[in-house]
Amino acid sequence: MDRTKTPRLALTRLFPPDVMARARRDYAVVAENTDDVPVDGPRVLAMAAEADAILCAAGDPMGEATIVALPASVRAIATFSVGTDHLALAAAKARGIAVTNTPDVLTEATAETTMLLLLGAARRAAEGERMVREGRWTGWTPTQLMGLQVSGKKLGILGMGRIGRAVARMAHGFLMEVHYHNRTRLAPELEQGAIYHSDASSMLSAIDMLALTAPGGASLANWLNAERISLMREGVVVVNSGRGSLVDDNALIAALHTGHVAAAGLDVFANEPRLDPRYRECVNTFLLPHLGSATVEARNAMGFRALDNLDAVFAGKEPPDRVA
């Protein structure tokens, strides 16, 4: 990086301490979100007024209207996420703004969260935790909070990218038979024994539990709808660590009430944090506040990867994780 002119950086979020320290060390931070209140488009533009680059995060309003209105000084946007659905990539490319994401580094943490959702939902962990915390537990009984065993079940995975494959590897530790549906079939060495279904209907009819790990997008909007839920056997467990947009909330909530879906574990929601309030009313849900990558190790690695990409841009090199 050329130290004769330190690049000016706007930080739309309060990032982990080690990430903030490196950003302040290597860049002239001209704006930062110290209160960590989610930003809106006008605030992004105000923060970027004197910036050469923006470090943003998932959920920030980096749509076309924001990108088009950014000052000419902005050369790069690094998002603290793998997903880019909050970014108008075509608009950024049209303006010559480099956009990068942070793949690879959050794979294990998000896969762990997926397994947490699966175990928490199947074993009725939320109900049990509330019982103990609220002082309603009166002792062990033979029929208390009987859930579903995860070990040995058939797990379907929608989306066998890095996270889906990590979930499959962890599921093998629970002696689960893994099935998957993907746009394309994986190479045998990546499948690791997982059973491929070119047709989603075939996978759904074969499984006991479903994990949604796909990255979302318009083609997968409301993918888990009433029709697909009906293809699964009675008492299926559904978990979502991918995107809230993958699920038709009306259909899933209805199935939770009838018991066709025995339990759901959700870490992501449409319109989060304003999730459909009916999920909170379903006793058979295990709900988390988008914790997928929330480990010290993963979040630091995400921030460092984002800064690595910005370093490359301002050193005149091609950033390794460029998406636009």
* Residue 116, C-beta contacts closer than 8 angstroms, at least 6 positions apart: 265, 288
CA distance to 79, 289, 292, 295, per residue, from 107 (Å) = 16, 18, 9, 11
Active site includes 185?
no
Single out the catalytic residue among 13, 243, 299, 305: 243
Q: Residue 31: helix, strand or coil by DSSP? A: strand
Active site includes 272?
yes
Contact 63, 88 (CB under 8 A): yes
Single out the catalytic residue among 124, 162, 290, 299: 290
Q: Residue 51: helix, strand or coil by DSSP? A: coil
Contact 306, 100 (CB under 8 A): yes
- SS3 readout for 114-158: HHHHHHHHHCCHHHHHHHHHCCCCCCCCCCCCCCCCCCCCEEEEE
Look-up: residue for tokens 């190790």?
A: 297
Active site includes 290?
yes
| DSSP secondary structure letters along 280-298 | HH-TTEEE-SS-TT-SHHH
Q: In terms of DSSP H, where are the helices of 134-292?
A: 162-172, 188-191, 200-204, 226-231, 249-258, 278-281
| Residue 250: how many other CB atoms lie within 10 Å | 13
Q: Which residues are catalytic?
A: 243, 272, 290
